[in-house]
Amino acid sequence: MNISEKSKGIIDSCRFCWMCRHICPIGNATGLERNTARARALGASLVVRGATKLKEISDNIYECTLCGACTNNCMTGWDPKVFIQELKTEIVLNGVAPDYIMGLIEKYQTTGNVYGVLACACLNDLVNNDSDVLFFAGQDAILKTPESVKNSIALLNKAGVKVSFGLDQDSSAAWWFLTGKTAETLSVATKTAEKLNQFKTVVVYDPVDYKLFLHEYKEWGIDITAKVIGFNEYLLSLIENGSLKVKNNGKAYSLQDNYAYARELDDTQTGRKLISKVGVVKDMLLIGKEANLAGQLIMAEYMPNVMTEVALNRWQNAINMDCKTIVTENPAEYLALKATTPDGYQVLSVEEMILENI
Ligand code: SF4
Ligand code: SF4
């Protein structure tokens, strides 16, 4: 199997403390021991040693969200996501991917996205190339939460910021998730970087895309010369410099820390600062770097029941602390929590929270 020495080292470094057993959102949802970082490493170890076939572990590799909760908590300081992504590349290149993954890849090849859907016609009027600030909504928002795109651009316009916007905004997050670092992933990323570099500033709505631009693109040697900034940071700067006027109504909001902001980009504060501009921060259980993932849209395509359970588990963390309004930072978690909202509770995206306080 063609995986790096780094991955082999990670696979073999576990100390069997089983901390990862309690923190994996998928393991917590399924109750299965195989859904832990360690169990995946054990499976990978068997493959590396020739004791089992790659195909035997391929389902389990695709049952990881890449949320990094295990990475954050592992006493060895190792990062299971590294070998998981390398294994995906091996799985796909060796033709042993599960049928449901091949189905998503084929859908992407035919339609340009894994969901096989078209962008909402309601976004057509927003397409323009008139500003040197690009609003990069990303594929998930464009295809799955078009209202978020409309609301976010409306909010930026209210602050006097005109933004360029296009319907073809693919960071390569889907290819990366499905196939790791393949030629297709790099090709999509390279084309996207060329588009971003036509602008002075790029405001990135989805933290998963933002993290990809800042981390993976750099690792892959793909240069982004435009100034790239996360949507939350950009909104906060507009409020702080007085361009966006908000009121503080004292309502309690609870942040659903997205893993990409909190764990990968080390930002657990911008979302909370935004809340404190319009209300009061009321934290639920497991926050910041310890936050539980609430949703992942690609996985919802092939394991919807488990992903519903993941969202319900996250709601339990809010219910236990009587947190009535959750504020999400990305489309996947917004949709997952929205679809499972208990009576008397509410989920808002960041822009919805700001809009209700203008
Ligand atoms: S937390 Fe790390 S060292 Fe402990 S069992 Fe999990 S993978 Fe192994
Ligand atoms: S990255 Fe997240 S989903 Fe994957 S094994 Fe670690 S905790 Fe579980």
Does ligand 2 lie within 6 Å of residue 142's CB atom? no
- Return the domain boundaries, the chain: 5-97, 121-237, 246-355
Ligand 2, atom nearest to 71 Cα: 6
For the record, the structure tokens of 246 come out as 């908000």
Look up the CATH number of domain 246-355.
Answer: 3.40.50
For the record, the structure tokens of 162 come out as 């005109």
Question: Which among 33, 72, 76 is the best mutation to test ligand 1's pocket, defined by most ligand atoms within 8 Å of the CB?
Answer: 76
> What does the pLDDT average to over 305-328?
98
For the record, the structure tokens of 206 come out as 């989805």
Structure letter (DSSP) for residue 118: P
Q: What is the pLDDT confidence band of residue 345, given thresholds at 50, 70 and 90?
A: very high
Look up the CATH number of domain 121-237.
Answer: 3.40.50
Q: What is the pLDDT of residues 237-281, one digit of tens each?
A: 999 999 999 999 999 999 999 999 999 999 999 999 999 999 999
Question: Which among 26, 88, 289 is the best mutation to test ligand 2's pocket, defined by most ligand atoms within 8 Å of the CB?
Answer: 26
Position 91 pLDDT exceeds 90: yes
Position 1 pLDDT exceeds 80: no
> Mind giving me the DSSP string for 276-303?
HHHEEE---SS-GGGPPP---HHHHHH-
Instruction: Give the rounded percent of residues in the chain with a pLDDT score beyond 90.
Output: 92
Q: How far is the CA of 34 from the centre of ligand 2 (A)?
A: 11
Q: What is the pLDDT confidence band of residue 18, given thresholds at 50, 70 and 90?
A: confident
Q: What is the pLDDT of residues 193-227, one digit of tens each?
A: 999 999 999 999 999 999 999 999 999 999 999 99
| Residue of minimum CA distance from atom 1 in ligand 1 | 74
Does ligand 2 lie within 6 Å of residue 311's CB atom? no
Position 162 pLDDT exceeds 80: yes
CB 165 within 8 A of CB 134: yes
Which of 348, 330, 350, 324 lies closest to 338 in space, CA to CA?
Answer: 348
Q: What is the pTM of this model?
A: 0.97
In angstroms, the CA 253 to CA 324 distance is 7
Does ligand 1 lie within 6 Å of residue 17's CB atom? yes
CB neighbourhood size of 204 (10 A): 27
Whole-Å CA distances, 20 to 30, 81, 162, 187, 268: 14, 13, 45, 34, 22
Ligand 2, atom nearest to 27 Cα: 8
Q: How far is the CA of 10 from the centre of ligand 1 (A)?
A: 10
Tell me which ligand sits closest to the C-alpha of residue 75. 1
Instruction: Let me know if the fold of 121-237 is the same as that of 246-355.
Output: yes
Does ligand 1 lie within 6 Å of residue 37's CB atom? yes
Does ligand 2 lie within 6 Å of residue 65's CB atom? yes
